[in-house]
Chains A and B, each alone.
Chain A
């Protein structure tokens, strides 16, 4: 089975966000694999171990993206592809990303593509379903279970807390939701092996893409932070008095209960 995982690197969730000149400051920020993409990598490895085949991890990124790809290889992916757009593209949006991936997948024989449900930075959740539509395969988003038996794929999908049981078939794209699995940590032998696993790097030229073909349809004109909220009040006195005061504040001052 040919399994592909779409990976994005994101700021570590511990990072505070700093903004200067209406842009995010990324000096010295720690990057991680987008946490939802970790579920995708784990699931890809589990499915490969069950059904055979190969797991290829694909990212669109820059020179710093190799670290996350090596981590995915150390977890157990077989090979990785970095489409480095650092020198060619200034701005891009989900349209740009999908146009590039469409070209990448043009000559690929795909059984299963896994992606995170959203990336925790931009959080649009568009790339997976857009790509599936573009390359003409069905998709299921926010999955929490995936079982492939012969031609039949049975999926549990999280729908705002309810669970839909969905039946479909390969080829297929899924986006992964928390609860799907417990992503493994790379083992020491895994990390050693990952150094020798194939990691192909290409640029958009190699995919016969001109900058104009992938020009974004949307543009970010500013990034800003909200003003810090003023510190609130910690209530004082006897506990039952505090509770009475709280209810009174919520009812009479805030008028929300």
Chain B
């Protein structure tokens, strides 16, 4: 029986969904594998460990340390390596998040292994486990295998559904004490800028604004619609370059790649670089006053019209819907 390690990731005291998706990926790699979860941090992690078991981990190793209050590659690296050395797993799975992207290359270097990043699907073919990942920001896909060493992958959030949560599952939770020596990069402060905690890469719904919003004030329309839908806010490069919003919102070949259930493009013409960042979304809605805009070519539903007329109507309609649902 193989043993697969899932490195979970918490935020604001709870595990991120991608941790459960990583467990599902481990199961896809080997349905019979023992799935060993690892949860890390400074605070009490018992509940996070339990939750990981409910989502399919067979047992969980908890690593708690004063020096893991904030993520650093040195601190987390030393903690995870200690667990890897104890367990000698056949594979490691982690989310392809800011932390996953930062930590896994370090581990791969230490372990002298390959690493397949940003996996969106796992398939079995003539004895090989094949990992599918987007290239050229989703303009194409590649199918990769590990040819030497352990299986080591990161998983793109929001692509592979987690297993069903089962509150009756039980598993051993153990604690691993670690010594964390020097940390060479110190996190002095964190300035929260991300909109209302809905992260772009994990959001189910994304509303993105383009040049068509015309100004910083105009961009507020996008925020208002996002708020009604509980969506994350994104933008085209045009909107970022024009200073209507922060570059951290940019979606496209430079910027973030998103695959939400619903993507609403507001005043975005649809340059090929932008389409690369969002065209794999499940349902795409385009609102643009130019009927010739490229974006309509990939949209499931389009409304040709002035966004400053359409969005207020849409907000009104959605609010009306919410109140009938509640009543």
Q: Which of B109, B195, B301 contacts A232 (CB 8 A)?
A: B301
A189 interfacial by beta-carbon distance below 8 Å: no
| Proximity string of chain A (2-13) to chain B, C-beta cutoff 8 Å, 1 when within and 0 when not | 000000000101
Contact assessment for B303 and A232 in the assembled complex, using a CB-CB cutoff below 8 Å? no
Contacting pair A130 B101 (CB below 8 A): no
Q: A208: which B residues are within 8 A, CB to CB?
A: none
Give the complex CA separation of A217 and B296 in angstroms.
42
Determine whether B314 belongs to the interface, using a CB cutoff of 8 Å to chain A.
Answer: yes
Chain B residues with Cβ under 8 A from A235's Cβ? 301-303
B283 sits at the interface (CB 8 A)? yes
Contact present for B190 and A225 (CB under 8 Å): no
Known: A121-B136, A130-B108, A219-B147. A161 touches B191 (CB 8 A): no
A229 vs B185: C-alpha distance in the bound complex, in angstroms? Answer: 45
**A226 at interface, CB cutoff 8 A:** yes
B interface residues, how many (CB within 8 angstroms): 92
Give the tally of cross-chain contacts (CB within 8 A): 247
Please judge, given known A-B contacts A16-B272, A243-B314, whether A218 and B114 are in contact too, CB under 8 Å: yes
Q: In the assembled complex, which residues on chain B have CB atoms less than 8 Å from the CB atom of A165?
A: 187-191
**With A124-B117, A178-B250: A160-B109 Cβ-Cβ less than 8 Å:** no
> Which stretch in A43-51, A77-85, A91-99, A193-201 binds the other chain?
A91-99
Complex-state Cα separation, A132 to B110, whole angstroms? 11
B31-39, B83-91, B171-179, B198-206: which lies at the interface: B198-206
> Which of the segments A56-64, A65-73, A104-112, A139-147 contacts the partner chain?
A139-147
**How far is it, in angstroms, between the C-alpha of A120 and the C-alpha of B134 when the chains are bound?**
11
In the assembly, what is the distance between CA of A25 and CA of B318, in Å? Answer: 46
Q: A36, A229, A233, A250: which has the most chain B beta carbons within 10 Å?
A: A250
CA distance A98 to B298 in the complex (A): 38
> Quick one: closest A residue to B182, CB to CB?
A138
CB distance from A236 to the nearest CB of B (A): 9
> Is A148 on the interface with B (CB-CB < 8 A)?
no
Q: Is the CB of B302 within 8 A of A234?
A: yes
* Chain A residues whose CB sits within 8 angstroms of the CB of B272 once the complex forms: 13-14, 16
Of A158, A160, A225, chain B has the most CB atoms within 10 Å of the CB of A160
Closest residue of chain A to B229 (Cβ to Cβ) is: A257
The CA-CA distance from A24 to B304 in the complex, in Å, is: 36
Q: Which residues of A contact B189 (CB under 8 A)?
A: 164-165
Mask for A217-257, Cβ within 8 A of B = 1, else 0? 11111111110010111110001101110110111001011
Known contacts A35-B254, A165-B188, A178-B254; is A257 also within 8 Å of B318 by CB? Answer: yes
Contact B74 A224 (CB under 8 A): no
Contact call B303/A256, Cβ cutoff below 8 A? no
Q: Are B302 and A233 in contact (CB under 8 A)?
A: yes
Tell me whether B149 and A13 are in contact (CB under 8 A).
no
**What separation, in Å, do the CA atoms of A234 and B255 have in the docked complex?**
28
Contact B305 A242 (CB under 8 A): yes
* Interface residue from A131, A163, A224 paired with B141 (Cβ < 8 Å): A224
- With A165-B188, A218-B114: A122-B135 Cβ-Cβ less than 8 Å: yes
Rounded to whole Å, the gap between the CB of A158 and the closest CB of chain B is 6
Q: Which chain B residues lie closer than 8 Å to A128 at the CB level?
A: 105
A218 vs B309: C-alpha distance in the bound complex, in angstroms? 52
- CB pair B186–A223 under 8 Å, yes or no, is no
Q: A158-B248, A217-B113, A217-B114 known; A256 and B205 CB under 8 Å?
A: yes
Q: Report how far A256 CA is from B304 CA in the complex, Å.
A: 22
A106 CA / B254 CA spacing, docked (Å): 32
Q: Mind listing 18 A-B residue pairs with CB under 8 Å?
A: A13-B276, A123-B135, A126-B115, A134-B109, A139-B106, A142-B98, A158-B248, A159-B98, A162-B193, A169-B184, A178-B250, A218-B147, A219-B147, A220-B144, A223-B140, A225-B140, A232-B296, A257-B205
Q: A36-B254, A246-B314 are in contact. List 13 more A-B contacts (CB 8 A).
A: A94-B114, A124-B115, A126-B105, A133-B106, A141-B101, A160-B97, A165-B189, A217-B114, A220-B142, A225-B139, A232-B301, A243-B313, A256-B262
